[in-house]
Amino acid sequence: MAITVSTPNNISSPDGNSLALYKDANTDKFFVKDINGQIEELTSLNIAPLFATDPPFDTSTIRIGQGNSAVGDNATVSGGFDNSADGFSATISGGEENVITMNWGTISGGRDNINNGLASTISGGRDNLMSGNYSILGGGQDNTVNGLYSTLSGGRDNVTVANYTTIGGGRLNTATALFSSICGGINNDTTGEYATIGGGINNVASGLDSSVLGGRGNDTNFFENAHIVGSKIVADREGVTFVNNLSIKDIPSSSTGLPSGSVWNNGGILNIV
């Protein structure tokens, strides 16, 4: 669009609420003329709103559904009922009464899930709470992720407390220490860093780098690198694997070629190389 170069007398007053914009041929300045013939010079102060770089329009999107809200800039709610995407670039794909409060958060579906984590994801489920940044909560019910860079895949009433923790599923499991993991089971707790519990019930991996394969009522008892295979075992020293019973099959009958520390069968008697 070209701006007219003229003198004020040659510019007609516009109709309605519009303004006539022109450049004065004598002064090279810009002016506007209204319906009443009043003329005002355009300055940096009064022209700024006409050429504002930040558009005064909503960049959020609500595609379908009922009672949904996309308050955050660039936020999207694709469907469902009574969902609220409050964070910048937050996305809710569907479900019911799900809420995202932080930026770049995602909820794929489910019901009554709350995502308070920065750039975190809740895939589905019900009544789950995400409080850790850059984390993933797969689904289930009444699960909570508090740690950064943590993953909770599913189950019920599970909690990741520390950063970089993982819970695969089960119920009432708690990953308390850094870099610890629980695959499943019921009421298991990793309180030692880098500890692992495979499953079972009422097990505690409290030692650094310790593990409990499964079973019930086991505790590595704060001993480092202690490992338990069985049930109702409490570790009493570090660097040891504890079992209830040990049955070794296909024991070599000769020590030839075996490395130091190997077990072999010497006529019915166990020997160690």
CB 21 within 8 Å of CB 39: no
Residue 236 pLDDT > 70, yes or no? yes
- SS3 label, residue 199: coil
Spatial separation of the C-alpha atoms in residues 228 and 237, rounded to whole Å? 12
Rg of the chain over all Cα atoms, to the nearest angstrom: 34
Nearest to 159 by CA among 129, 179, 192: 129
Amino acid present at 113: N
Domain extents in the chain:
4-51
Asked if 106 and 96 count as a contact pair (C-beta separation under 8 A), the reply is: no
Structure confidence at residue 210 (pLDDT):
98
Instruction: Give pLDDT tens digits for 17-35.
Output: 566 777 777 887 877 777 7
pTM above 0.85, yes or no: no
Q: What is the pLDDT of residues 114-162, one digit of tens each?
A: 999 999 999 999 999 999 999 999 999 999 999 999 999 999 999 999 9
